[in-house]
Amino acid sequence: MRAQELVEKAKVELTGKRLIWNVLWYGSHLAIFAYGWHSQQNNAKLAALNGLRFSVWISRGAGLVLAFDGGLILVPMLRNILKLIRPRLMWLFPADENIWFHRQVAYQMVFWTMVHTTAHYVNFINVERTQVRKQTAWEIHYAQPGGLTGHVMLLIMFLMYTTAHKSIRKQCFEVFWYTHHLAFFFMIGLYTHATGCFVRNSVDPDYISSFPFYSTEHCLGYQSWRFTIWAGILYFGERVYRVIRSRRKTDISKVLLHPSGVMEIRFLKPSFKYKAGQWLFLNVPDISRFQWHPFTISSAPEDPYVSVHIRQVGDFTLSLGDRLGATKGIASETLDYPDEKGDYGRRKDYIEINPKALGNGMPVLRIDGPFGAPAEDVFNSEVAVLIAAGIGVTPFASILKHIWYAQRSGQLGALRRVEFIWSCRDTGTFGWFQTLLEELEASQSDPDFLRISVYLTQKMDSDTVQNITINDVGAEYDPLTLLQSRTLFGRPNYKQIFNSLISGIESGSYLPGREATLKTRLGIYFCGPSALASTIKKDAFAVRTRSVDIKFFKEHF
Ligand SMILES: Cc1cc2nc3c(=O)[nH]c(=O)nc-3n(C[C@H](O)[C@H](O)[C@H](O)COP(=O)(O)OP(=O)(O)OC[C@H]3O[C@@H](n4cnc5c(N)ncnc54)[C@H](O)[C@@H]3O)c2cc1C
């Protein structure tokens, strides 16, 4: 990293909310470390052990931090509990950044593990040298619970951390997923790490014949597991509950194939209640008993079915396409643009799969969820800017439909205007939600309430562009999308979009009747690649003014 970048990063980390977070996060770790060190150093019962001095105090301090982090690391993975508390506690912490938080705890654990392990290696060598215990370093390392569980945990951490690297997750998600389940054994190791009279105030404590097989008078043990185990119990309980819930009755009602091979699965699950913008885990035992894949719900809670739109990209989704008789091949023959004559004009935007044509009928579906998502909060904004890239449109399909239902029942909350911006690589992509967008646009009594801007990012040859332009002249509808709003070519210029939006709000032309003294709540909701999320956020905050309160929410696949 260059000096300039370092200065920029330091500026971000040392201002505003980031500064508070850094002080609390690193401060709490250092405070726990200091407390562990202090309590070890001043424990009269451990006077003999304290003769080892710094290495023993450091190992104790770092051990206590690891116990704390060992409990904390599971908290962001309590998905159901998070879903429940999310709406009430969003003001306090960003509940949608649970995976980010999980990673922060994991980074701390690596650091403190290095400190703890190094200090213990010094301890054990010194124990052998001073004979403060009548044991060799080798025995403590490999023949006692503390050393054994420690080494097993180190091995598990090595496997989990290496396979969690972005490059592995991108290339072979299953390797990461299955290896991460070693966490179960890691936790058992953590809870039992200080058993077996590992910490004692006597050189040679008495062993007794019944559980816990040593005299508790001399075996002091560290008791942190009594606190940390609760997160483990909750997590385990959640996983069991999720398995039970996922097996409740679910029937596929329809499978639609859209352009570019996107499958829309509609299913009925009476026990499944969700909010617009949430997502679920889907499992198809016919394809894999253990793989659970996340997909955003594209239907609205008011719809009589639940739907997901699935892009066929890899092993699981392609096998699912095969199993449902909805392959990419069929899509390109019947639905994709341009057609065999090179025409970009309208083709069908879906075909329905006939279940009778599937030799072994519709497969069994297991659904786990729903889980929270940032787009849930759209009704708290006065102006909502929904930005989707490619398949990132799915949560907004649900939100837009939900808004439409809310409009009809007059329950729009604070919401006064909606800007929907969708960048698609090719023309076929529009077909995923063409009918929905057409209907939404046609149903607007206030033409200003919902503005749809579709961007086509694919490069087209000049003949095609000319063709489209000729077709467009004087036409009531856009020749590509069949919407009244025209397709825009190239990538959206977000800075310009936010700039004109904010100027419009401030001048009163965008929200007529808005009180000049009030702050307007502008919510930007993005779903697409993370790199684009950072650019959009930066562009939005670069043009922020005092009279517009901008909140940015992102979801990435
Ligand atoms: C919250 C969320 C919502 C999503 N919503 C949609 C949606 O509405 N429509 C859609 O088409 N796609 C969605 N995705 C992406 C979808 O989960 C992956 O495309 C799918 O799991 C790919 O599986 P595969 O084996 O076919 O492809 P692979 O080639 O194995 O994977 C393709 C990409 O998906 C990632 N991936 C694979 N398996 C998983 C998994 N179990 N969990 C998380 N990521 C995985 C991989 O890291 C890789 O980057 C969503 C992802 C997330 C995290």
| Per-residue model confidence as pLDDT tens digits over 319-366 | 999 999 988 888 888 776 655 555 555 556 788 888 777 777 889 999
Beta bridge partners of 309: 264
In this predicted model, which residue has the larger pLDDT, 43 or 109? 109
Q: Do the Cβ atoms of 335 and 239 come closer than 8 Å?
A: no
Q: Does residue 310's CB lie within 6 angstroms of at least one atom of ligand 1?
A: yes
- What is the rounded distance in angstroms from the CA atom of residue 300 to the CA atom of residue 276? 6
Atom of ligand 1 nearest to the CA of 176: 47
Based on the fold, state whether residues 364 and 380 are members of the same structural domain. Answer: no
Most confident range, picked from 344-348, 408-412, 413-417, 553-557: 413-417
> Ligand 1 atom closest to Cα of 177?
41
Ligand 1 neighbour 288 (Cβ under 6 A): no
| Residue 80 CA, ligand 1 centroid: distance in Å | 20
| Alpha carbon distances (Å) from 339 to 66, 326, 331, 424, 442 | 60, 19, 11, 18, 27
* Domain boundary, last residue among 353, 371, 389: 371
Rounded distance from Cα 466 to ligand 1 centre (Å): 37
Q: What is the pLDDT of residues 227-284, one digit of tens each?
A: 899 999 999 999 999 999 999 999 999 999 988 889 999 999 999 999 998 999 999 9
Q: Say how many domains are in the chain.
A: 3
Are 256 and 123 found together in one domain?
Answer: no
In short, whether 388's Cβ falls inside 6 Å of ligand 1 is no
On whether both 193 and 318 belong to a single domain, the answer is no
Nearest Cα neighbor of 429 from 386, 487, 384, 468 is 487
Query: What's the full length of the chain, in residues?
Result: 557
The model's pLDDT over 141-176, given as tens digits with 9 standing for 90+, comes to 888 888 899 999 999 999 999 999 999 998 889 999
As a whole number, mean pLDDT of residues 469-477 equals 69
Instruction: Assess whether 274 and 185 both reside in one domain.
Output: no
Q: Are 546 and 516 in contact (CB under 8 A)?
A: no
Residue pair 284/300 in contact (Cβ under 8 Å)? The answer is no
Is residue 40 in contact with ligand 1, taking CB distance under 6 Å? no
376-410 pLDDT, tens digit per residue, is: 678 888 999 999 998 888 888 999 999 888 888 88
Q: Tokens 């909010």 belong to which residue?
A: 275
What is residue 60's predicted lDDT score, i.e. its pLDDT? 92
| Cα–Cα distance for residue pair 265/233, rounded to 1 Å | 35
Q: Does the structure show a pLDDT above 80 at 538?
A: yes
Nearest ligand 1 atom, CA 308: 8
Residue-level pLDDT at 339: 53
Residues 543 and 457 in one domain: yes
Q: Say if residue 180 is in the same domain as residue 210.
A: yes
Residues 6+ apart with CB under 8 A from 547: 505, 506, 516, 519, 520
Q: How confident is the model at residue 8 (pLDDT cuts 50, 70, 90)?
A: confident
Measured distance CA(361)–CA(324) in Å, rounded: 9
Looking at 318, 345, 371, the residue that finishes a domain is 371
- CATH assignment of the domain containing 317: 2.40.30.10
Report whether 134 contacts 203 (CB < 8 A): yes
Measure the CA–CA gap between 424 and 387, rounded to whole angstroms. Answer: 11
294 in contact with ligand 1, CB cutoff 6 A: yes
Mean pLDDT of the chain: 86
Residue 316 Cβ < 6 Å to ligand 1: yes
Among 344, 371, 398, give the residue marking a domain's end. 371
Ligand 1 within 6 A of 313 CB? yes
Residue 315 CB less than 6 A away from ligand 1? yes
314 CB near ligand 1 (under 6 Å): yes
The CATH number covering residue 417 comes to: 3.40.50.80
Burial degree of 15 (CB within 10 A; 0-12, 13-18, 19+)? exposed
Q: What is the pLDDT of residues 493-512, one digit of tens each?
A: 999 999 999 988 888 888 87
Question: Which secondary structure element, helix H or strand E, spans residue 138, and what is its range?
Answer: helix 137-142
In contact, 514 and 522? CB cutoff 8 Å: no
Which protein residue has the closest C-alpha to ligand 1 atom 42?
A: 293
Note the pLDDT tens digit of each residue in 171-192: 889 999 999 999 999 999 999 8
Determine if ligand 1 sits within 6 Å of the CB of residue 317: yes
**Which atom belonging to ligand 1 lies closest to the Cα atom of 298?**
8
For 273, residues 6+ apart whose C-beta sits below 8 A from its C-beta are 301, 370
> Regarding predicted confidence, which is higher, 548 or 472?
548
The pLDDT confidence band at residue 477, using thresholds 50, 70 and 90, is confident
β-strand partners of 383: 417, 522
CA separation (Å) from 62 to 48, 115, 119, 120? 20, 6, 9, 10
- Do 292 and 203 sit in the same domain of this protein? no
Same domain, yes or no: 363 and 378: no
pLDDT score of 317: 96
Residue 396 in contact with ligand 1 by CB distance below 6 A: no
At residue 322, the 3 state secondary structure works out as helix
- The answer to whether residues 428 and 550 belong to one domain is yes
Do 366 and 380 lie in one domain? The reply is no
- Where does residue 112 rank: exposed (0-12), middle (13-18), buried (19+ CB within 10 A)? buried
Range of the structural domain that residue 526 is part of = 374-554
Residue 226 shares a structural domain with residue 332: no
CA-nearest residue, atom 41 of ligand 1:
293
| Residue 286 sits in the same domain as residue 273 | yes
Distance in Å, CA 70 to ligand 1 centroid:
28
Confidence of residue 194 (pLDDT cuts 50, 70, 90): confident
CA atoms of 73 and 234, how far apart (whole Å)? 12
427 by Cβ neighbours in 10 Å (0-12 / 13-18 / 19+) ranks as buried
Q: Are 64 and 40 in contact (CB under 8 A)?
A: no
What residues contact 118, with CB distance under 8 A and at least 6 apart?
A: none
- The finding on whether 295 has its CB within 6 A of some atom of ligand 1 is yes
Exposed/middle/buried for 265, CB within 10 Å: 0-12, 13-18, 19+? Answer: buried
Is there a cis peptide before residue 370, judged by omega within 30 degrees of 0? yes
